[in-house]
Chain A
Amino acid sequence: MDYYFLLFAIMAVGAGIFTITVKDALPSALGLLTVFIALAALYLHLHAPLIAIFQVSIYAGAILVLVVFVIMLLITPDEALETAQKNISYRAMGAILGVYLIALLIIGLKGINQLVAQKSLPEGFGKPSQIGDLFFRKYILHFEISSVLLLVALVAAIYLAKKRA
């Protein structure tokens, strides 16, 4: 049994459940952070150190901080915000649908290990240099487009956030 995987898997699931059930947004963000870190650990295990680092730095460090920042910005302490749908049946329906989806996905993806090619990893697999190499060869167009993507996001976000001209 792969305890390393089991540990972080349980941690990720537990933190995920915490994220979606906890009352306030801030603890929820902390829960998400935990998920991220657990996943980062798994990434390391999967020979993806660079991803793991980025996971911590970009996701946890940038995106989540942004979210937390907005949480602080938007939720004034005196506003009592109900966290979940009041209507139990509504919540139950969402949960059931979600669980059903999980079940279906798991059933649907049964036998995936036969489909996925399983090769032994070459030497130095997952080194950042490999990624960089791919970035500038095979994925250069994606890279360009993602820069456009970020530019678009920037334009949109700036327009929306800035004061009316």
Chain B
Amino acid sequence: MNQMNLAFDLYHLWEVCGGQMILIVAGLFLILVDMMLLHKDVEVRGKWLGWLTVFIFAATIGHMACREWELHDIVFMNIFSADKFSIFVAIIMACSGMLVALMSIGYLRNNRLMNGEYYILLVFAVAGAIGLVQSVDLLMMFLTLEVMSLAIYGLAAFLKDSPFSQEGALKYFLLGSFGSALFLFGVALIYGFTGTLNITEVAQAISNGTYQSLPLLTAFALIIAGLFFKMAIVPFHMWTPDVYEGAPSVVTGFMATAVKAAAFGIFMKVLFVTFTPILATNGQPDFASTVNLSALNPYWKPVIWWGALLSMFFGNLLAVSQTNIKRMLAYSSIAHAGYMAVGIIAANGEGRTGVLFYLFAYTLMNIGAFGVVYIIDGVERKAQELDDYRGIGYRYPTLAFLLSLFLVAMAGLPPTAGFIAKFYVFSAAIKEGYFLLAALGVLTSVIGAYYYLRVIYMMYMKEEIREVVRGAVAAPTVVALVITALGVLYLGMLPEKLASIANLAQQSLAMIF
């Protein structure tokens, strides 16, 4: 083989980034199919593309879970790593993609918008997201972040006839570019100090004591800010409600879960690999210098403390006065970001496990909720006001029950996944002595319970004031809803399995070196 021609080992790439490769290749394939498939009926074409996308995601999940999960040689070219943590998050995002794809088939049909670009963008968005969490290279992070973001800008703006969708997308775009610029500034600085972009090498480079030098802190702050934007942590959350409200419902579900998972995943990865490295508990810790392991704790911990608290507080508080259910769920997603941040602040294994579990659980319940929302909507923005939900409980009992289940899960009540997830993150924080944060956090979740319950009482306890006709329920959506509902209940009652996997995953963060 000529080394010049082939700068890397393709097989190794396939091993490490198989999921991404499947998605990218499949994305290209989808473009082809979209152009070639000359079926007259747009609907049929859309449906086929949709199912194809679902299949692609299923294949991706299967591949990642079966092969990449058990890898030993996990880092490829110092750019991508297939550590269990990244793969876990990647699987969450692929699941989110699959569920969203399932729902999109029905959603797009209801909205008479069967363009294939949707699925292409969805696939690339997930590919970008997976690339993001897999990358251990800051430049690659930026690039994949942009791949994901651009795809999502496109998805958010997908309702071309809706000014809301376009406006949301534009806001997202403008602020997103701003956020990316901040992130990039930080990345550039890191590059400047260390001469490298690989996060493990960065960690090694700064382990000699430059931890607390001002420029590095500045770079750290800028990276935090850039990622907080994607995580929607207060005060970088302002775009969330507008974009979530404007974007197509299923896309909102996707944004609230996959994008959030990607952001949290990469944040934790950067934090716990570069800035506050954790040591391998088994295996061999390559990273020898343990002196400064927690030198940055006093910097980022208060930041996340406040960020988590403010997110929980403002997210829940502002959700109270919302009348649009999507906007309400958007605020609630801010609050959930806050809860997850509580898990990060604990900075212990339980906390990271908790965050991973939370991401998974949140994916299930949030996508499920948006699925119900879009069905009740019929056509986007037709019935999104809370008043439209009056009496739904008797008009559409199953839908209402499902929505109640998801909302109850989000409110964090047993026996749902939401409760266990909250339990995990809060118990991790309490373990580290963050009683006050935990107490304030649970109090804000009381506010949260109020607005979730409000939807439930609208559905079950109020007389309807106008006749809401739900949209058609497509079979794939039913599948997705069943999966999410069962998942929410299953994880609520038997969380141990997923939690132990997540625990394995978070432990692998120490193994990236």
| Chain B residues, Cβ within 8 Å of A138 | 77
Are B151 and A159 in contact (CB-based, < 8 A)?
no
B210 within 8 A of A: yes
Indicate if the CB atoms of A142 and B151 lie closer than 8 Å: no
Q: Are B214 and A111 in contact (CB under 8 A)?
A: yes
Chain A residue, CB-CB nearest to B127? A148
Interface membership of A88, Cβ < 8 A: no
Knowing A112-B215, A142-B140, A145-B144, the reply to whether A156 touches B153 (Cβ < 8 A) is yes
- In the bound assembly, the distance between CA atoms of A116 and B153 in angstroms comes to 36
B128 touches A152 (CB 8 A): yes
Also in contact, A145 and B193, with CB within 8 A (given A109-B215, A152-B124): no
Q: Does B7 contact A (CB under 8 A)?
A: yes
Complex: how many Å from CA A164 to CA B115? Answer: 9
Chain B CB count within 10 A is highest, among A145, A151, A164, for A145
A86 beta carbon closer than 8 Å to chain B? no
Number of interface residues of B (CB under 8 A): 47
Min CB distance A92 to B, Å, is: 20
Contact between A155 and B117, CB atoms less than 8 A apart: yes
Q: Does B437 contact A (CB under 8 A)?
A: no
Say yes or no: A109 contacts B218, CB within 8 Å. Answer: yes
Beta-carbon contact of B24 and A108 below 8 Å: no
* Distance between Cα atoms of A160 and B159 in the complex (Å): 9
In the assembly, what is the distance between CA of A108 and CA of B213, in Å? Answer: 9
| Min CB–CB distance B313 → chain A (angstroms) | 23
Within the complex, the shortest CB–CB distance from A10 to chain B, in Å, comes to 22
Residues of B within 8 A of A117 (CB): 195
| B134-161 interface bits toward A, Cβ cutoff 8 Å, 1 = contact, 0 = none | 0001011001101100110110011011
CB < 8 Å neighbour of A142 from B4, B24, B124, B143: B143
Contact pattern, B 1-34, Cβ under 8 Å of A = 1, otherwise 0: 0001001100001000000000010011001000
For the complex, is A93 an interface residue (Cβ under 8 Å from B)? Answer: no
Picked from A104, A116, A165, the residue with its CB within 8 Å of the CB of B42 is A165
Residues of the A chain whose Cβ atoms lie less than 8 Å from the Cβ of B139: 139, 142
Q: Is residue B120 contacting chain A, with contact meaning CB distance below 8 A? A: yes
Cβ-based interface call for A141 (8 A): yes
B216 CB–A CB distance under 8 Å: yes
Question: Which of A138, A157, A159 counts the most B-chain CB atoms under 10 A from its CB?
Answer: A159
Residue of chain B at shortest CB distance from A153: B150
Q: List, in ascending order, chain A residues with CB within 8 A of B4's CB.
A: 136
A7 part of interface (Cβ distance < 8 Å): no
A164–B147 Cα gap in the complex (Å)? Answer: 24
Contact of B189 with A148 in the complex, beta carbons under 8 Å: no
B69 within 8 A of A: no
Q: What's the minimum C-beta distance from B406 to chain A, rounded to whole angstroms? A: 30
Residue B227 at the chain A interface, CB threshold 8 Å: no
Q: Does A84 contact B (CB under 8 A)?
A: no
A-side contacts of B80, CB under 8 Å = 141
**Beyond A116-B192, A136-B7, A156-B150, is A146–B143 a contact (Cβ under 8 Å)?**
yes
- Which of B7, B28, B161 lies at the interface centre, i.e. has the most chain A CB atoms within 10 A of its CB? B7
| Cα A109 to Cα B157 with chains together (Å) | 38
Q: How far does the alpha carbon of A110 sit from the alpha carbon of B131 in the complex, in Å?
A: 34
By the criterion CB–CB under 8 Å, are B140 and A112 in contact?
no
Contacts of B140 in A (CB 8 A): 141-142, 145
Task: Tell me whether B409 is interfacial, beta carbon within 8 Å.
Answer: no
Q: Are A145 and B147 in contact (CB under 8 A)?
A: yes
Cβ A111 vs Cβ B154 within 8 A: no
Q: Distance in Å from the Cβ of A162 to the closest Cβ of chain B?
A: 9
CB distance from B123 to the nearest CB of A (A): 10
Residue among A115, A136, A158 having the largest count of chain B Cβ atoms under 10 Å? A115
- Which residues of the other chain, A, contact B137 by a CB distance below 8 angstroms? 142
CB-contacts of B413-434 with A (<8 A): none
8 A Cβ contacts from B208-223 to A: 210, 213-218, 221
In the complex, residue of chain B having the shortest beta-carbon distance to the beta carbon of A165: B115
List residues of chain B with CB within 8 A of the CB of A145: 131, 140, 143-144, 147
- Whether A108 pairs with B153 at a CB distance below 8 angstroms is no
Q: Could you tell me the distance in whole angstroms from the C-beta of A152 to the nearest C-beta in chain B?
A: 5
Q: For the complex, give the distance between the alpha carbons of A165 and B151 in Å.
A: 20
- The contact string, 1 if C-beta is below 8 Å from chain B, for chain A 123-165, is 0000000000000111111100110110111011111100011
Nearest opposing residue in chain A for B131, CB measure: A145
B221, chain A: closest CB distance, angstroms: 8
For B147, give the chain A residue with the smallest CB separation. A149
Q: How far is the CA of A110 from the CA of B344 in the complex (A)?
A: 30
Some 5 contacts from A to B, beta carbons below 8 A apart, are A107-B214, A112-B189, A115-B192, A141-B79, A159-B158
Residues of B with Cβ closer than 8 Å to A? Answer: 4, 7-8, 13, 24, 27-28, 31, 42, 77, 79-80, 115, 117, 120-121, 124, 127-128, 131, 137, 139-140, 143-144, 146-147, 150-151, 153-154, 157-158, 160-161, 189, 192-193, 195, 210, 213-218, 221
Q: Nearest 8 CB-CB pairs, A to B? A: A156-B154, A108-B218, A159-B117, A115-B193, A112-B215, A152-B124, A137-B7, A149-B147
- Having A108-B218, A149-B150, one finds 16 other A-B pairs with CB under 8 Å, namely A107-B214, A110-B215, A136-B4, A138-B77, A145-B147, A148-B24, A148-B127, A151-B28, A155-B121, A155-B154, A156-B150, A156-B154, A156-B157, A157-B154, A158-B117, A159-B154
